[in-house]
Chains A and B, each alone.
Chain A
Amino acid sequence: MLHLPVLKADERKHSMDTDKGEKVDLTDAIFQLEKEGEWIVQRVPEPYIELDTKYGRKKKIPIEHTWHHKSCGQCGHIPGYSASIFWLNREFGLDYHDPTNQTSCTAWNYYASATSNPEAQAAVAIRNFASAYEVGYFPLIHCGTSFGHYKEVRHALVHQPELRRKVKAIMEKLGKPFVIPEEIVHYSEWVLAMKDRIAERQQLDMSMITATVHPACHYHKLIEDDAIYDSEIYGAQRTAIISGTLKALGINVADYSTWFDCCGFGFRHILVSRDFSRSFSVQRKIGVMIEEANPDVTVTHDTGCVTTLDQSQFAGKAHDKKVGLPVMSDSQMAALAMGAHPYKVLQLHWHNTDNKAFLEKLGIDHEKKWSEFQHEIQKIKDGKNEYMSWEDAK
């Protein structure tokens, strides 16, 4: 037995001093601007759950009456991601709204090409917020970049009166109210807030699964004060998102040394300079995860991360790199745990990397599940069904 005057890492206790530093708690400023008649603040509807942010502020996470601010990349290329979020809401019988008067945040383009400007970006954000407010639902942001970008927009609107003036004029022209939500909430915060309820209804044992986690840059690096932390998860030294959810599902969350690195998406790069995205993703992320943690799956919570980590592995194969790791979102993992269909709901056929071994490990007969899905496709082909409904997806 080693006797040293130094404690082991897990015995060291730290206390968060919340009254120091230039923290970005905009709550007071947002409500003050409402008092001054600058805008309307949309309150988080009840019931909500409070989670801790980086410096101990309590963030309100709405449970229902949510307005689903969808992600263009998710809905376009990995639609089971969003379908799983909706499926979870429906399973819990929660009231939600899936709007058709939503545009994407357009931030992917902004970060990729700079062919936009702060007024346009803020106006797009506020137009979406106003659309949510008008129907009485609270925005739940599906995309990490939209989430991070909207936090930036909110920060800019609070601090730049001239920008507020311009956006206000635009909203007046559009005949829409100038509304800012009390909290900017990411869907994976909602999943985390729901983790115990999800675990209560878990149908699939996942204790044999080891997962690595990739937190999205725009979730926790852009205005990190607003991301969720938990002293039980990495001693609150990393965001609790995903890891907290997976642990609640009984999954073994494994560490790897490049956890902080980005996925390689690069906004512009994934579209027109993919040599960077591929190399970074395979060599700095997937390869390291396999080498150090040998996981069954890697789980992330943003459009770009799922896409880049998943799609880049194909080219890695040709170079004999360590690849072949299924990539999924926390919403898909949660839905799967609760018994969602891997193809009808999780829509895993849109993913690139082979996930059959992963499904087998969970005891899922993927051939049977695939034929069930094919049966639904046949009904569509035969004209018996125009679409596959939620009822068909059961």
Chain B
Amino acid sequence: MMALDLSQNKYSDVSMEEKDRLFAEAKADERWEHVLYGCYECGICVAACPSARFYDFSPRVIAQAVAREDTDLIYTLMADSIWDCSQCFSCDRCPRKNSPGQIITILREVSVKNGLKSAKEALQGYGRIIYKIMLTGTQVSPDMLQPDAFPDWGTHVYEIAENLDDWRKALPPETLHTTETSWVIDDKTIIELYLIWHMTGVMDLISGVDEGLYDIIVDVMEERLEEAGYDDVTFD
């Protein structure tokens, strides 16, 4: 287990102004006042936390850092710690009703939005998932069960991959005979999903962490939107 280095000004290459600005962005989030009240360091969040047992990870330290508004420490945690969280929300049990898990959700969003190096690293190899979810509306699909993607899941992944088409056809629910999506999804529904991504600015977040991926996804979306009559919808 790597020990978490919380020494002061660890990331001296980033200015205090920048660290302040990133925290201000998190604090401006509408959810902020409901995810952090105050912390009396009871440690219940750490006790309940799965990640704390595997990594040098402490939801309590994160709650304390944000409560103290220690922007230097918060930056270090954003860089080195927040992606270890499992987002299981066991820490929602906080007697003060803080939610370290939701604090982390917000800090992650800020990291992604600002294209922080740590966010890019944390999401390395994750691009194909973003591609799938953005374009198809399902996160995983049957055809992702490939041995090279899941070598640690053993030989049974080979068996599934080999028999995929037949096994999908041997599923009684009529909507499940698919391999590229988890179920049959109407074209109209996909277009509606793209319009939601467009109206909520989600693609901007993706451009922050992976410009290449952004270009590929946007190309596909714009083409399908145009076919559906939305030629005025562009992501530029």
A–B: direct contact at CB < 8 Å: yes
Using a CB–CB cutoff of 8 Å, the interface residues on chain A facing chain B are 22, 70-77, 79, 82-83, 86-87, 98-104, 106, 108-120, 123-124, 127, 131, 148, 156, 159-160, 162-163, 166, 169-170, 173-174, 176, 217-218, 221-222, 224, 260-262, 264-269, 271-272, 274, 276, 278-280, 284, 311, 314-315, 344-345, 347, 349-350, 352, 373, 376-377, 380-381, 385-390, 392-393
Asked if A116 and B202 sit within 8 Å, CB to CB, the answer is yes
Q: What are 5 contact pairs spanning A and B, CB under 8 A?
A: A117-B202, A120-B196, A166-B200, A272-B124, A349-B167
Of chain B, the residue at the smallest CB distance from A163 is B30
Minimum Cβ distance to chain A for residue B133 (Å)? 4
A166 contacts which chain B residues (CB < 8 A)?
A: 200
Contact of B153 among A131, A284, A311 (CB under 8 A): A311
Asked if A104 and B48 sit within 8 Å, CB to CB, the answer is no
A386 contacts which chain B residues (CB < 8 A)?
A: 169
B154 contacts which chain A residues (CB < 8 A)?
A: 314-315, 352
Q: Given the interface contacts A106-B137, A118-B31, A272-B124, does A266 sit within 8 Å of B86 by beta carbon? A: yes
Tell me the bound Cα distance from A112 to B125 in angstroms.
12
Minimum Cβ distance to chain B for residue A152 (Å)? 9
Among the listed stretches B3-11, B12-20, B179-187, which one makes contact with chain A, having 4 or more residues with CB under 8 Å of it? B179-187
Asked if A70 and B51 sit within 8 Å, CB to CB, the answer is no
Asked if B173 and A83 sit within 8 Å, CB to CB, the answer is yes
Asked if A75 and B176 sit within 8 Å, CB to CB, the answer is yes
Q: Given the interface contacts A82-B176, A170-B200, A266-B51, does A380 sit within 8 Å of B170 by beta carbon? A: yes
Contact of A173 among B90, B126, B199 (CB under 8 A): B199
A115 contacts which chain B residues (CB < 8 A)?
A: 112, 123, 130, 202, 205-206, 209
The DSSP consensus for interface residues of chain B is: helix
Asked if A218 and B89 sit within 8 Å, CB to CB, the answer is yes
Asked if B200 and A388 sit within 8 Å, CB to CB, the answer is no
Asked if A72 and B138 sit within 8 Å, CB to CB, the answer is yes
Within 8 A of A (CB), among B146-196: 150, 152-154, 156, 159-160, 163, 166-177, 182-186, 188-190, 192-193, 195-196
B130 contacts which chain A residues (CB < 8 A)?
A: 109, 113, 115
Within 8 A of A (CB), among B101-136: 105, 108-109, 111-112, 119, 122-126, 129-130, 133
Asked if A76 and B89 sit within 8 Å, CB to CB, the answer is no
B137 contacts which chain A residues (CB < 8 A)?
A: 103-104, 106
Tell me the bound Cα distance from A246 to B166 in angstroms.
32
Tell me whether B142 is interfacial, beta carbon within 8 Å: yes
Asked if B50 and A103 sit within 8 Å, CB to CB, the answer is no
Tell me whether B92 is interfacial, beta carbon within 8 Å: yes
B30 contacts which chain A residues (CB < 8 A)?
A: 118, 160, 162-163
Tell me whether B93 is interfacial, beta carbon within 8 Å: yes
B189 contacts which chain A residues (CB < 8 A)?
A: 100-103, 131
Tell me the bound Cα distance from A235 to B40 in angstroms.
30
**Residue count of chain B within 8 Å CB distance of chain A:** 81
Using a CB–CB cutoff of 8 Å, the interface residues on chain B facing chain A are 30-31, 34, 48, 50-51, 53-55, 83-84, 86-90, 92-93, 97, 105, 108-109, 111-112, 119, 122-126, 129-130, 133, 137-142, 144-145, 150, 152-154, 156, 159-160, 163, 166-177, 182-186, 188-190, 192-193, 195-197, 199-202, 205-206, 209
Contact of B140 among A76, A101, A119, A352 (CB under 8 A): A76
A98 contacts which chain B residues (CB < 8 A)?
A: 173-175
A268 contacts which chain B residues (CB < 8 A)?
A: 83, 87, 122-123, 126
Asked if A120 and B170 sit within 8 Å, CB to CB, the answer is no
Tell me the bound Cα distance from A352 to B153 in angstroms.
8
Minimum Cβ distance to chain A for residue B194 (Å)? 11
A123 contacts which chain B residues (CB < 8 A)?
A: 196, 199-200
Asked if A221 and B90 sit within 8 Å, CB to CB, the answer is yes
Minimum Cβ distance to chain B for residue A196 (Å)? 26
Contact of A117 among B109, B138, B177, B209 (CB under 8 A): B109
Tell me the bound Cα distance from A109 to B128 in angstroms.
11
Asked if B170 and A388 sit within 8 Å, CB to CB, the answer is yes
Minimum Cβ distance to chain A for residue B84 (Å)? 8
Asked if A276 and B54 sit within 8 Å, CB to CB, the answer is yes
Asked if B172 and A87 sit within 8 Å, CB to CB, the answer is yes
A218 contacts which chain B residues (CB < 8 A)?
A: 88-89
Tell me the bound Cα distance from A74 to B97 in angstroms.
32
Minimum Cβ distance to chain A for residue B231 (Å)? 16
Asked if B182 and A104 sit within 8 Å, CB to CB, the answer is yes
Asked if B90 and A114 sit within 8 Å, CB to CB, the answer is no
Q: Given the interface contacts A112-B129, A170-B200, does A392 sit within 8 Å of B50 by beta carbon? A: no
Asked if B170 and A377 sit within 8 Å, CB to CB, the answer is yes
Of chain B, the residue at the smallest CB distance from A224 is B92
B188 contacts which chain A residues (CB < 8 A)?
A: 101
Minimum Cβ distance to chain A for residue B85 (Å)? 8
Asked if B176 and A314 sit within 8 Å, CB to CB, the answer is no
